[in-house]
Structure 1
Amino acid sequence: MNLNSSMGEASFVEPYEGLVAGVGKRIEPVFGTVDPNSISMSEWLTVVEQECGRDVAHKAMKVWRAFWNIMRLLRYTQLSDPSSKVTNTAPAPRHQRYSQVGALRLAKMAWRLGYRGLACIIITCWDTGFQPGDARTARSKHFGVDPTNNRLIIDRSQGGREKTGVAVIGTLSRLGDVMVRSYIAGLGVELHGEAFLFRTRAGSPYAEMVLSHDFQDLRTKVDPESSFNYAI
């Protein structure tokens, strides 16, 4: 059951491009080569929740159920959805809020603890209003300088945001400008246009869950009494 090849040619499936991407990320590695008539959900949802958080697990199950309906329409299977007996619990609504003082405290502490890529992502999100995925995937080509104040800008007018594709441009604050410039200078290498800018302590580009885990680790060190899930 190759999800890309089996569905890529069906014209009426084009609106499900985002759906197929979600399937490939969380579902295809587990179920992609399994006969649809022999699938058992077993502990898959629990594993996804443990590794990626309840929000990701909830979305993955919704994608699974939507895709199963498409499978039945395409006559890959005539069985009922094997996930029908699995309870898909939605995550609690987000309610945490950050103040400027709190956000800057996190960024400065991340810098001091050696999470310098994470520090730049935090300050970038605060200054520009970008979601973490937009800052995490910022490449060298996205950065420029605002001629009116000589501060760094992130220009995603080409390609747009990660989730929506909407064109956005954000300007860094004075502190953000200083922090990101210091970070770039500290890399000690010349970045080509397609290079991801913000990186882990090991030097690799930030993956989604690595960013989430580093952020949770940072919050635990800043506020050991906190207990909620800090996944980004």
Structure 2
Amino acid sequence: MARVKIPYYVVKKGHGYWQPTKAMRGEGFASIRCGKDGPDAWTIAAGWNERWQRHRRGIEEAVRPRWPRGSFGDAFDRFRTMDEWSEKKPRTREEWERGFARIAPVFGDMSPMDPDVSLQALSAFRRRIAETVSPREAWRTIKIWRALWNVTAAIGLTGAKKDPSLGIRNRQPAARSLRWYEGEAVRLVKRAWREGYHGLAAAIACTWDTMMSPVDVRSLTVEQRRRDPLGTYFVAGRTKTGAAAIGTLSRRAVRILDAYLEREPVEVGPIFRNRSGRQYSRFTLPDDFAVVRQLEFPGDTRTLADMRRSGAMEARAGNADPATLSAKMANSISTSNALHRAYQPVDLASVRGADLARRLGRRRTANETEITGLK
């Protein structure tokens, strides 16, 4: 197997570990079991190294402080040393860490048995996040709280106490509805390239065409690239669910990708790198995207992730049927998920059918925009 050089990453008996130095452990970082040596383990190790670099530069606090025995922080740290944690998909682990980053300052050093861990406290906690960050972030944080409570209970730290958050109605907010248009995506790609963000330009082009999520695009490798008489595509698996995924590319995106790889060759590991030559992480990709977006569309708040929804909106406008769109998105959105998995697995023909529907929908949307004068 090809190897990559990641600081503090070691392999023991076929499994990878991110092992900080004694000085780093003093800053609150601990050894992380990354799973079986391979691309997934490399991604985890690179993510922890990125966290350390951000902490070292004063951008981010240490993610793993030393918590009192029996506290929520202690339970979370213990959980992250177990096989159950390492077997979770990288995207799922990211969601846990994101949620715990909000839980930690308030409840991290508290025991579940503490009387201050109450329905009233959690209700105020959720309301504060909803008001200062967003309702979606509040919903996500309570979702992770409940999962963490189950882990804490399994470890034996909750006694007979029930999760006080069960008294909260944690309704999921309406999904985002922001979208990008093809011309805007093209402008972002060109602006990124002109500003020297070559890896970002190629990543945006591939995100627009493949309709993959940013985390899945970040994980694409040269080995996953394929070609047949009809064009170029990637064969991969969704980071969050493990579902099979095929990401097709237009000729325009292929030209950008090839130009990037000619300028900055990548032989092993994830394709898309930032200007320092390091692979994009969940921190650096959105950071670079925000810089380019601000330059091209000042004040805009749309994200790279919104391109996945934008492609789906194009495909639906082009009358793509649910099964075809589901194949394109590597997602279970058709009417009958079980039947779809049995009789309509992800295949290249279905994905290209969704591409055709997107082109039709794009033309229809453009015509309607011209007639109504709306964007």
TM-score where L is the length of structure 1:
0.71
How far the C-alpha of 1:23 sits from its partner, in A, is 2.9
1:23 aligns with 2:100: no
1:67 is aligned to 2:148: yes
Match of 1:12 in 2: none
Work out the CA distance in 2 between the residues paired with 1:3 and 1:223: 42
Structure 1 residues 54 and 205: CA distance shift in structure 2, 3 A: farther
Higher relative contact order (CA 8 A, sep 6+): 1
Return the match for 2:193 from 111, 125, 129.
111
Task: Provide the secondary structure at the position in 1 that maps to 2:228.
Answer: coil
TM-fit CA distance, 1:94 = 1.1
- Deviation, structure 1 residue 73: 5.3
Q: 2:353 — aligned with what? A: none
1:212: how far off?
Answer: 1.7
In the TM superposition, what are the counterparts of 1:1-232 in structure 2 within 5 Å?
Answer: 1=75, 2-5=78-81, 8=84, 17=88, 21=93, 22-24=95-97, 26-27=99-100, 30=104, 35-37=111-113, 55=136, 58-72=139-153, 74-78=155-159, 79=161, 81=163, 93-144=175-226, 146-149=227-230, 151-156=231-236, 160-187=237-264, 189=265, 191-192=267-268, 195-226=269-300, 228=301, 230=303, 232=305
CA distance in 1, matches of 2:88, 2:219: 20
Conserved? CA contact 2:192–2:292, under 8 Å = yes
Alignment root-mean-square deviation, CA: 3.8
Q: 1:59 to 1:138 in 2, by over 3 A?
A: same
Q: Which amino acid counterpart does residue 195 of structure 2 have in structure 1?
A: L
Do 1:55 and 1:90's aligned partners in 2 also have CA atoms closer than 8 Å? yes
Residue 54 of structure 1 and its aligned partner are, at CA, apart by: 6.6
Name structure 1 gaps, 5 residues minimum: 10-15
Instruction: Give me the identity figure in percent.
Output: 29
Measured in 1, the distance between the counterparts of 2:178 and 2:290 equals 14
Pair 1:115–1:61, CA change in 2 (3 A): farther
Q: How many residues align?
A: 213
Give the counterpart letter for 2:100 in structure 1: I
8 Å Cα contact 2:214-2:304 kept in structure 1: no
Partner-residue secondary structure (3-state), 1:152: strand
Distance of 2:245 and 2:206 partners within structure 1? 13
Structure 2: runs of 5+ lacking an equivalent: 1-74, 306-375
2:259 alignment partner AA: S
CA distance in 1: counterparts of 2:135 and 2:192, whole angstroms? 25
In 1, the alpha carbon distance for the partners of 2:284 and 2:278 equals: 10
- In the alignment, the residues of structure 1 paired with residue 151 and residue 92 of structure 2 have an alpha-carbon distance, to the nearest angstrom, of 11
In structure 2, the partner of 1:13 is none
Amino acid at match of 1:132: P
Letter in 2 for 1:209: F
In the TM superposition, residue 126 of structure 1 has moved relative to its aligned partner by 1.5
Shift of 1:26: 4.5
**Displacement after TM superposition at 1:168 (Å):** 1.6
Q: What is the letter of the counterpart of residue 134 of structure 1?
A: D
8 A Cα contact 1:36 1:77, kept in partner = yes
Deviation at 1:67, TM superposition (A): 2.3
Bigger radius of gyration = 2
Offset from partner CA, 1:21-44 (integer Å, 9 cap, x none): 343565289588875446978989
Secondary structure, in 3 states, of the residue corresponding to 1:135?
helix
**TM-score normalised by the chain length of structure 2:** 0.47
